[in-house]
Amino acid sequence: MEIVAAIESMLAVVAQLAPTVTTTATVQAIIDALIKLIPIIIKFAPKLVKDWQIIIGVLRSNPAAMPEQLAMLDLMSEDADAVFDAAVKKAEAADAAAEAQEKKP
């Protein structure tokens, strides 16, 4: 799917740039972009949540991040964990359903 590839590419670029960020404004710009991506990642690319979490972690350790930005990143991390957990449960349910289907005579 093209949208997943586009998001994956964008997250890869942001992941490379995030460690080099030196201003609070740039940290905020990345946070704002990640916030806008949340619903798209949830709907189209839950497999990219781990990439999203990596960027959040990098920004959390950035000395340019202000306390309110760290709080936003904490909330985003919780959202990412919830999305990942939901994706795992969905995959487990699909596996269980497929296994049950295979056992039918």
pLDDT at residue number 50: 86
Q: What is the pTM of this model?
A: 0.77
Q: Which of 37-41, 54-58, 83-87 has the lowest mean pLDDT?
A: 83-87
60 burial via Cβ count (<10 Å: 0-12, 13-18, 19+): middle
For residue 95, the enclosing domain spans 2-103
Provide the domain count of the chain.
Answer: 1
Residue range 23-38: average pLDDT?
A: 93
Average pLDDT across the chain, whole number: 88
Per-residue pLDDT at 44 exceeds 90? no
Q: Helix 24-44 vs helix 49-60: angle between axes, to the nearest 10 degrees?
A: 160
